[in-house]
Amino acid sequence: MTTAPTTASSTSTTPGRLAGRRIVITGAAAGIGKAVAHLFAEHGAALTLLDRDENGLSGTAADVRASAHAVDITSEAEVSGAIRTAAATMGGIDGLVNCAGIMFRGRAGDVSADEWRHVLDVNLTGTYIVIRAALPWLEQQDGSSVVNMASGQGLLPNAPGYSAYAASKGGIITLTRALAAELAPRVRVNSVSPGMVDTAMADGYRDNVDSYALRRLGKPEEIARAVLFLTSTESSYVTGAALAADGGRTFH
């Protein structure tokens, strides 16, 4: 699915913090990715949205007047085609936010090698595939930025049954730091590590808020604001960061 290309516009007559920016967001059909799309549109960015959920993606794209492409981020061919189209539609790419990912729980002795591979393929390799596809455009612009969605489990795995998920998110944090060193000074690369956020992905995993200093789940909009900071020029001296937006779960 590809929606008709349009330009995202701010709801305010005042130029936003992302005015003139051309940004791709993955995982935009729901949850944190959807919240990021709405916030970025309000701040004046031109957007292209990616997700495998065609129906949810269409709804978000209509809300924020963005182009959208239904893709599987583990498919290099699908991602490369969507990124090329995004760059042509927006006149380039100078921002990327990787929100696409899956939650997974299972003790190491019960998780098959195929399940392990699937979690890492989506969360870690999928993130890498999207970044790699966007690099030719990101590297053309000074001040380009990438924000990757990690997790508090990647910073501090402290509950049983998350070995595959924690490994995938810890890999995102390390990949972020490696790319920050490799792509500097032209492209900044940072990550956000949310705690448990009140989205559909949290269903069945809402039993541990007592370990959070703030004693509640986060809101998608709260994580989106952290992503906005790391994407905007307000964080122009920040790269390689692993920003914990986790209600005090890790105190990282």
How many other C-beta atoms are found inside a 10 Å radius of the C-beta of residue 177?
17
Q: At what angle do helices 54-64 and 31-42 cross, to 10 degrees?
A: 20
Instruction: Give the architecture (CATH level 2) of 22-103+125-156+173-245.
Output: 3-Layer(aba) Sandwich (3.40)
Q: 94: closest CA among 147, 151, 33, 153?
A: 147
Indicate whether 6 pLDDT > 50.
no
Active site residue 212: no
**If phi over 0 gives left and psi between -120 and 50 gives alpha, with beta otherwise, what is residue 143?**
left
> Domain limits of the chain?
22-103+125-156+173-245
Sign of CA dihedral 83, 60, 1, 72: positive
Nearest in space to 223 (alpha carbons), one of 188, 199, 192: 192
Say which of 128, 162, 165, 237 is annotated catalytic. Answer: 165
Q: Per-residue pLDDT for 93 more than 60?
A: yes
> pLDDT for 199-230, tens place per residue?
988 787 676 788 899 999 999 999 999 999 99
Read off the pLDDT of residues 170-190 as tens digits, 9 standing for 90 and up.
Answer: 999 999 999 999 999 999 999
pLDDT at residue 128 in the model: 98
Query: Distance between CA atoms of 223 and 70, rounded to whole angstroms?
Result: 23
Taken in order 6, 11, 14, 19, is the CA torsion positive or negative?
negative
CA angle (28, 31, 32) in 5-degree steps: 75
